[in-house]
Every structure is written in C-alpha cells, then in structure tokens.
Chains A and B, each alone.
Chain A
Amino acid sequence: MSTPPLSVTPQPSDVQSLKSVNFISGSDSTIRRRLFLSRVFAWCCRIATYSALAALVALLASIIVNCLGRLNLSFITSVNSVDPAEAGILAGLWGSFWLISLTTLMSVPLGIGSAVYLEEYAKDTWLTRVIKVNLSNLAGVPSIVYGMLGLTVFVRMFDLFGSSAAKSKAINLLGIVKIPLPLGDIILAGALTMTLVILPIIIIASQEALRAVPSSIRTASLALGATRWQTIRHQVLPAAMPGISTGVILAVSRAIGDTAPLIMIGALTVARFCPAGIDSPVKLLTEPQRILQAPMDQFTAMPIEIFHWAKQPGDDFSPVAASGIVVLLLVLSVFNGFAVWIRYRTSRGLKW
C-alpha cells in the first residue's frame, strides 16, 4: 500500500549548498569535515536504498534468463512430467485457482465481519482486548505452524474418524458431493488452513480502513433514523471498501505464494491431473456438477510445483522452475494491478 505523498521534509538547502558552505566555513575545517561526513552519510543511505532496487532487478533478471527457451504456451497447457521438456504447470494453476477461490470465499466474510465487530460493535471489555492482542500475535505466527494446525484439525481431524488413508466415512450432500471424514489432503482442507493464515491480515487491514471512515458519517446516518447495521451496511462499509479490498488482495496474493502450510498438510508435490478433471475454463460451463466436486479432490499448487522443480538436483529443471516462477509472478501482478484499479475506481466517488 503506497501512502499519498506527504509534506516535504525540511530541506536545509542553505546549509547544504556549496556557496553558503564557503561563506560559513571559510577557514574552519571542522565545519568542512562535518559537511563532508554528512554528504558521505547521504550517499550511504542512497546506496542502501538503491541496493534494494538492484536486488529486485537481479532477481527478475536471473529468473528471466533461466526461463528463456522453456517458457512457451505448452508450459501452461500441460501437467507435470519427469521430462523437463514436457513438464507444465497446468495442474498447479488449477489447484491454486480452486484453493484461492475457496480461501477468498471463506476468509473475506469472516475477516470483514471480525473487523466490523471490533471497530463498530465491541465495547472495551476484556474479551475485546484479548481478541485485539491475539490478532497482532497471530499475524506474527510463521505460516508453517498454521500448516501443523491444518494437518491435525482439518486433514486428520484429531484421528476421531480413523486414519485419513481409509476415508471410510463421508457426509453426502445432495448426492453430488461427498465430504470425506477426516478431510484428508483435499483442496477444502488446504483452503481452510489458508483461510486461517490470511485472516489476521484481512482483519487488521479492514480495521484500519474502517477506522479511517469519519465518525460524522455514522452520526449523520444514525441521526436520520438508520439502525446500527443499516449504518454499517450502507454508509460505513462502502466508504471503507477501497481500503478493505486492497487489504484483501494483498492477503490473497500472500496466499497464492505461500507454500509451507500446504506442504505441511500433505498437498501433492507431483500431480498429473487437475482437480475434478477440470483442465480448461470451458469445462466449468459444460460440466458444472464438477465444480462442487473439485474442492473434495487432491491437489497441488503453483508454489509447490516450483519448490519441487527448484530442488531437483542438477540444472535440468531450473528452466522449468523459472518458467513456473514467471507464471506465478504474472498471476500475482494481475492481482495487484486489480488492487490498484479497485482503489482508483472506488475512491473516485468518495470525498469528505
């Protein structure tokens, strides 16, 4: 999130410019030395800042150089293979698609709901304070620890239903979808885990967005006779939407790239199939009943496939890994471009 340009910091140009240096210092060498030190310091800071840019350029360059000659259309239309010339990312692309869609469906209402509760409803009780302190701590928990939570609670369900390999029991929904118990390493389990990973990020960003809505909007709405929920639904939430959606997209992009929790819950590293057999957007329309089956299928995700390729010995798979990274970064930049666009679109009509 970029901040709007703030007021310019004081610029003591008269101290800095050489003319006044000569005027002040004349013969005094300590002033000259101090100004020299100041200039050296400025250059050190500048170098530190631009070394971050250099790192970014080096990173992108090393990836692009590696992916040249391998990245082509067949890379995104074929599934993984033991032959580096034929390996593709299609299974991971669809796996990530289902995983992220489900994660977004679950985490956005929960996250915005929590933030609305904390900012608009909660009084300053011990429970509220516990929730707030807990949130900032949760945001700092490494995602691999969430993976262990997901493994025990969602994948194995505390072994209450026997081992996950047997998959003996299942809940049948409308005869179309079978939810296995315990869930096992399916997309639904991954999405539940990922929801918990990004929930604190969404809540904290939404809280900030809600806090930025001026209270005059609320009092005006309440004064006109709206109930509390009507005020929130029709005044506060629309006004906070640019901030909330930016936070949501940042959180979701984190979920797209996060690998550790998925590996911990046992997602596949090598999958040669797409969840529920949906391998092209056309099938979403022609065979809609499969949409409900996909969340119950095993899966792999883009970052897992990249991890798998990156750790293959030798250099055979490094162009494949680099191509996978390019696809992943493209997906991420589309997402972030979307965030910029939403921020621009929704903030135009709001003025106070």
Chain B
Amino acid sequence: MSTARPSMFQRSRSANPKEQLIHVLLLCCALVSILTTLGIVVVLLRSAVYNPGPKTAFFEEVSLGEFLTDTRWKPVERSQLSPEADQGHFGIWPLLSGTLMVAVIASLVSVPTGLGAAIYMSEYAGPRERSFLKPVLEILAGIPTVVYGFFALHFITPMILQPVLKHVFGIEIGLFNVASAGIVVGIMVTPMIASLSEDVLRSVPRSLREAGYALGSTRFDVSMRVVVPAALSGILAAFLLAFSRAIGETMAVTIAGGHKVLFSVNPFEEMRTMTGYMVHQSFGDNSADSIQNKSIYAIGLALFVITLSINIASQWILRKFREVYQ
C-alpha cells in the first residue's frame, strides 16, 4: 500500500508476532470511537424510530409530522379512555424554541465579545498582554457548566437583569428566565469563539497587513477590511461550533431557564429547553417503556441530528473556503 516507505516495516511486522499484536491492539483502540458513534445511532434509533423487539418506539406511536409541526408538548400516555382534552401532545416546537432562544441570545453575547477579543489579541495586544489574557479565557472555558447555572441564578438575574429591567423599562421578571440562561451560555462559549477565531486571524500572513499599511490604511481598515475578510470562513466555522455547543448545553440552562414548556419568543419568560426536558424526565420515575421515557430518546435524536448537522456544516465551510497562502 505505502510506496513511500520501504518494505522494511512490512517485513518486520510480519516477522515479529509481538509487533503485529501491538498493531492489532492499537487498531482496536481506534475502533472504539467508531463503535461509540454506532452505539449512539443504534440506541437513539432503537428507542425513537424503530424497535425490533416487542416494544414500540416513540415514532411508532407519534407520527413524525406531529412531532415536527405540533406546537404543544404535553407528554402524557395516550389512551382510548381519556377525554380529548387530556390526550398527550408531542410537538417539539416549545422545547426547540427554548433551545433556539438560548442559542440565539448566547450568540448575541458571544459573537461580539469573542470576535472583539480575537481581533484585540491578534492585532493589538503585545505578547505580555496576550500571555495574561489567554489564561483568563482558558479559565473561563474550563469552569463547569453547573457553576454557570448558579451564576445565572444568583448574579445575572437578581443583580443585573431584574434591576435594569425594573428601573429602565419597568418590567418585572421572574428568577428563572431564558435571557439569563442565554447570557451565561454566551459567556461560556466566548472563549471558544475567541481562541478559534484568533487562530485563523493569526494565520493570515503578515504581508497582507503590511500591504494594507503601506497603502495608508489605519489599523481599523487593516483589521476589518483585510484580516477579518481573509479569515471569514474560519470565523464562521468557529461561530457554528459555538452555536452547536450552546444548543447542546445542559446544566446551566436547566438551572436558570426554568420549568415551563412554552412556545414563545419572549426572552424574559421561563422556558424549558430540549436538554432541560431530558434532565427533568430522567429525574421522574417513569418506567422504561413509558411514552415519557421514549420521548427523551426522540428529543435526544433531534438534538444529535441538529448538532451533528451544524458541526458538519462548520467543517465543510472550513474545507471549502479555506484561503491558502504561499
């Protein structure tokens, strides 16, 4: 197979059983990641789409059309006996809207700060300032998400959102709200956007900047009209990764986002997200065969599909639009 390398390896491999055994063992290690993906897909499909055993899967009881179009989420067992009003509803929109609200608010917070920080660190800050700022961002990225949930509940909402909204706009808001969850998730993904974007900004060759300065550009012109456009694909890819991370974020939004299942676009409402619903259901004592338990697999499948598509889109953008410099 490999023509570049001499047959030395092939011979030593076949001659030495120990070397061969190690090769196989290492291959097995590498296959674990493939098995993990297969496992995730099988587990989600088995409980959500089609169950080969005697039990039924979620989508065998609830149609995909209802799941994607109904705007009510009321996970109760369906039966012929109960009256129409008590029937379960399984439309993903209330949960999806909560998740999207969090992700959009998080983007509004993290894109300006993350991108600003990336530009500052790559274009303005000296090596000393960088060596101080980088660890700060790393610490911010390393703080567990439960801590951010606590921060939202005990600082962002009572110290910032409630007083500002009350005194400036005269709105009273509750302790649980999507805005505080979105803000802390935004703080959480800012380091990700900043460090990924900074890497691509730094990979823009110096000659482009020097050409800009030679033509009489100010630093603003060079940053915003030369460097950022040249690095745009990488910045977009970083944003998509952060967006997908915000969608999959669990603990902070479960703590701060609240309990109501609502289809709304009001950021000061309490709303449950997809991940929040999954956590909530796993605390309940429903049996493994109940529709509530199956519904978390359906939500999990939706979450997996959404985050996977965004990640693939991000990789595609990086590959497709990469600028290659000599």
**Is B102 an interface residue when CB atoms closer than 8 A count as contact?**
no
Does the CB pair B43–A1 fall under 8 Å? no
User: Is B179 in the interface zone, CB < 8 Å from A?
Assistant: no
0/1 string, B21-45, CB within 8 A of A gives 1: 0110111111111101101100110
Q: Give chain B interface residues in 202-221, CB to chain A under 8 Å.
A: 202, 206, 209-210, 213, 218-221
A306 to B252, CA, bound (A): 12
A145 to B300, CA, bound (A): 6
The yes or no answer to A72 lying at the interface (CB within 8 A) is: no
CB distance from B118 to the nearest CB of A (A): 9
**CB <8 Å contact, A303 and B44:** no
Cβ contacts A196-218/B at 8 Å (1 or 0 each): 10011001000000000000000
Q: Decide: B190 and A144 in contact? CB cutoff 8 A.
A: no
Are A117 and B206 within 8 A (Cβ)?
A: no
Within the complex, the shortest CB–CB distance from A14 to chain B, in Å, comes to 9
B194 touching A144, Cβ below 8 Å: no
Which chain B positions have C-beta within 8 A of A42? 120, 124, 219-220
Given the contacts A35-B218, A49-B121, A122-B30, A322 and B150 also touching, CB distance less than 8 Å? yes
CB of A130 within 8 A of CB of B34, answer yes
Given contacts A34-B221, A122-B30, A134-B34, contact A62 B154 (CB under 8 A): yes
Beta-carbon nearest neighbor of B244 in chain A: A140
Within 8 A of A (CB), among B125-165: 125-127, 130-131, 133-140, 142-151, 153-155, 159
The answer to whether B307 touches A149 (Cβ under 8 A) is no
List the B side residues contacting A41 at CB < 8 Å. 219-220, 223-224
B112 at the interface (CB under 8 A from A): yes
- The stretch from B12-20, B59-67, B79-87, B263-271 touching chain A is B12-20
Complex: A135 Cα to B148 Cα, angstroms: 27
The answer to whether A46 and B154 touch across the interface, beta carbons within 8 angstroms, is no
* A200/B33 contact (C-beta < 8 A), A10-B209, A269-B283 known: yes
Report the minimal beta-carbon distance from B251 to chain A, rounded to whole angstroms.
5
Q: Across the two chains, which residue of chain B brings its CB closest to A232?
A: B22
B255 within 8 A of A: yes
Q: Is the interface of A mostly helix, strand, loop or mixed?
A: helix
- Count class of interface residues, chain B: 35 or more
Write the chain B residue with the least CB distance to A125. Answer: B1
Of the residues A44, A140, A322, contact of B311 by C-beta under 8 Å: A140
Given A45-B119, A137-B308, answer yes or no on A2-B33 (Cβ-Cβ < 8 Å): no
Closest to A128 in B: B30
Q: Judge if A229 is at the interface, Cβ distance under 8 Å.
A: yes
Contact at A199–B23, with CB atoms within 8 Å?
A: no
Known: A6-B202, A38-B221, A58-B155. A307 touches B29 (CB 8 A): no
Contacts of A47 in B (CB 8 A): 116
Taken together as a complex, chains A and B put the C-alpha atoms of A123 and B131 apart, in Å, by 38
> Using a Cβ cutoff of 8 Å, how many contacts connect chains A and B?
287
B278 within 8 A of A: yes
Contacting residues, chain A, for B213 (C-beta < 8 A) = 10, 12, 15
Is there a chain A Cβ closer than 8 Å to B122's Cβ?
A: yes
* Any B CB within 8 A of the CB of A281: no
Nearest B residue (CB) for A260: B250
Q: Are B145 and A38 within 8 A (Cβ)? A: no
Q: How far is A45 from B129 in the complex, measured between Cα atoms in Å?
A: 14
Instruction: Judge whether A259 and B144 touch: CB under 8 Å.
Output: yes
Judge whether B153 and A310 touch: CB under 8 Å.
yes
Once the chains are docked, how many angstroms separate the CA of A203 from the CA of B28? 14
A43 to chain B, nearest CB (A): 10
Asked if A199 meets B26 with Cβ closer than 8 Å, knowing A5-B130, A55-B140, A148-B300, the reply is: no
Name which of A168-176, A237-245, A282-290, A324-332 contacts chain B: A324-332
**A227–B113 contact, CB under 8 A?**
no
**Which of A108-116, A272-280, A342-350 is the contact stretch?**
A108-116
Question: Which A residues lie within 8 Å of B136 (CB)?
Answer: 52-53, 56
Interface string of B220-233 (1 = CB under 8 A from A): 11011000000000
Whether the Cβ atoms of A332 and B142 lie closer than 8 Å is yes
Of the candidates B26, B30, B191, B311, the one having the most CB atoms from chain A within 10 angstroms of its own CB is B30
Q: In the complex the two chains form, is B146's CB within 8 Å of A259's CB?
A: yes
Q: Is B56 an interface residue (CB 8 A)?
A: no
Is B13 in contact with A228, judged by CB distance below 8 angstroms? yes
A131 contacts the other chain (CB 8 A) = yes
* Contact B194 A52, beta carbon cutoff 8 Å: yes
Q: Which of B2, B124, B135, B146 contacts A46 (CB 8 A)?
A: B124
**For the complex, what is the distance from the CA of A62 to the CA of B281, rounded to whole Å?**
30
Partner of A257, one of B137, B144, B245: B144
B residues whose Cβ falls under 8 Å from a Cβ of A = 1-2, 8-9, 12-13, 16, 18-19, 22-23, 25-34, 36-37, 39-40, 43-44, 46-47, 112-117, 119-127, 130-131, 133-140, 142-151, 153-155, 159, 187, 190-191, 194, 202, 206, 209-210, 213, 218-221, 223-224, 241, 244-245, 247-251, 254-255, 275, 278-279, 282-283, 288, 296-297, 300, 303-304, 307-308, 310-312, 315
Q: Which 5 A-B pairs have the closest CB atoms?
A: A142-B248, A257-B144, A48-B116, A113-B29, A117-B26
Q: Can you report 16 residue pairs joining A to B where beta carbons are below 8 Å apart?
A: A5-B130, A12-B219, A34-B221, A45-B123, A52-B136, A52-B190, A55-B140, A114-B29, A142-B248, A142-B249, A257-B144, A263-B283, A269-B283, A307-B251, A307-B255, A328-B144
